[in-house]
A and B are shown apart, each in its own frame.
Chain A
Amino acid sequence: MEKQVTARNVWERIFTKLNKRSLWMLHYCTGCGAIELPPTMTARFDMERFGIMPMVTPRQADILLITGYLSLKTLKRVILTYEQMQAPKWVVGFGSCTINGGMYWNSYITIKSLDQYLPVDLYIAGCMPRPEAIIEAFNTLIKRIDEGKADAWKDYYRNYDFYKENQRKVLGEFETYVDIKADAKRFGIV
């Protein structure tokens, strides 16, 4: 029995080792923060040297970068997108707006803290965070994936009721296309 556990840990460690050098970032931009991504992707800062590349479909992406403010309309699309992504997946909140609303602190239509609606692995503070900060954040994320600490996506399966309740509170009833509870059983999380 104990042998099995150690064996799985070794596999897990191999998985994370491979995972951390091949991350696909979903090419989905929600706010003004997306303007910092072109220099991050291209020659000057070149995030490809860390193995991170943009990916156009959520089903093949690993990182969901929330670049800036989220209005309710966008939040719904982000939730639908997030649920379509295959685990393991990581959410990075980008800029002050995802942390506490930022300059939209008294807006009636933007959410004030992202982690009420989606499990966030990492926040990047600042308005705007420069590409250096994004690279730093990706390096931190890679380190945490390697150590096995970046598992907020499991939290979404574990505390789905909490997230769903908060989503319902601001968006009302809406249909998502992924059966999270069945997935949680499949992953053996609940």
Chain B
Amino acid sequence: MEYVEEKKVVDDIKSVFKEVDCIIKRERRVEVKLPKEKLLEFALRMQTNWDFPHLSAISCVDWIDDGEFELVYHFWSYNRKVLVSASIRIPREENAHFETLSHLWQPAKFFERDIHEMFGITFDGNDDMSKFILEEWDGPPPMRKDFVTREYALSFYHFREYHPEWMKDLEGAGEK
């Protein structure tokens, strides 16, 4: 594999952000690890200088042992056909928060609402942090690693007891 376009993207990034960790994962995939202060500048350059008009997703990882949340921003370029995943790490706190990207990309509003719901991270500057998918939910953020879903389900829902003798009269019903 030549990785022509991927190398150009890495060169672009290296020309401005000299210190950052930037590797080609495989064909059409570039991974960047940024300090969290650099993300806004990076996103702005992606959008305006380097032809990455599409923010395709924001994902979140809970590194509970490191005490950190990792936010991964995926940028896609239609012309260059490269997906750049830029990841930053923020401290893992009860009220973790980070700055929004919704003024650069409208769809970021939805991604951030989703992350707020699942991980409890607040995005400063995003005015809509209301419930997104889990409308009826008011427990803790369910995708955090310290949320034990089994315990919650046992305490919250009614479980049916198992009575095998109830099925006796059904045995052989399908063989008629």
B138 and A112 contacting across the interface, CB-CB below 8 Å: no
Q: Among B134, B158, B173, point to the contact of A166 (Cβ < 8 A).
A: B158
| One of A23-31, A54-62, A102-110, A178-186 at the interface | A102-110
B153 and A108 contacting across the interface, CB-CB below 8 Å: yes
B134 and A113 contacting across the interface, CB-CB below 8 Å: no
Which residues of B lie under 8 Å from residue A68 when comparing CB positions? none
B134 and A107 contacting across the interface, CB-CB below 8 Å: no
Contacts A107-B153, A112-B153 given; does A76 touch B136 at CB 8 Å: yes
Q: How far is the CB of B10 from chain A (nearest CB, A)?
A: 41
A171 to B136, CA, bound (A): 6
Which residues of B lie under 8 Å from residue A100 when comparing CB positions? 159-160, 162
B157 and A170 contacting across the interface, CB-CB below 8 Å: yes
Interface status of B149 (Cβ within 8 A of chain A)? yes
Q: Among B142, B160, B173, B174, point to the contact of A109 (Cβ < 8 A).
A: B142
Chain A interface residue count, Cβ-Cβ cutoff 8 angstroms: 21
A170 to B162, CA, bound (A): 22
Q: Among A73, A99, A106, point to the contact of B135 (Cβ < 8 A).
A: A73
1/0 per residue, CB under 8 A from A, across B117-151: the answer is 00000000000000001111111001000010110
Interface status of A141 (Cβ within 8 A of chain B)? no
**Top 5 nearest A-B pairs by Cβ distance?**
A72-B136, A106-B150, A113-B160, A112-B157, A108-B149
25 contacting pairs across A/B (C-beta < 8 A): A72-B134, A72-B135, A72-B136, A73-B135, A75-B136, A76-B136, A101-B157, A106-B149, A106-B150, A108-B139, A108-B149, A108-B152, A108-B156, A109-B134, A109-B137, A109-B142, A112-B159, A113-B159, A113-B160, A116-B158, A136-B173, A136-B174, A171-B136, A172-B136, A172-B138
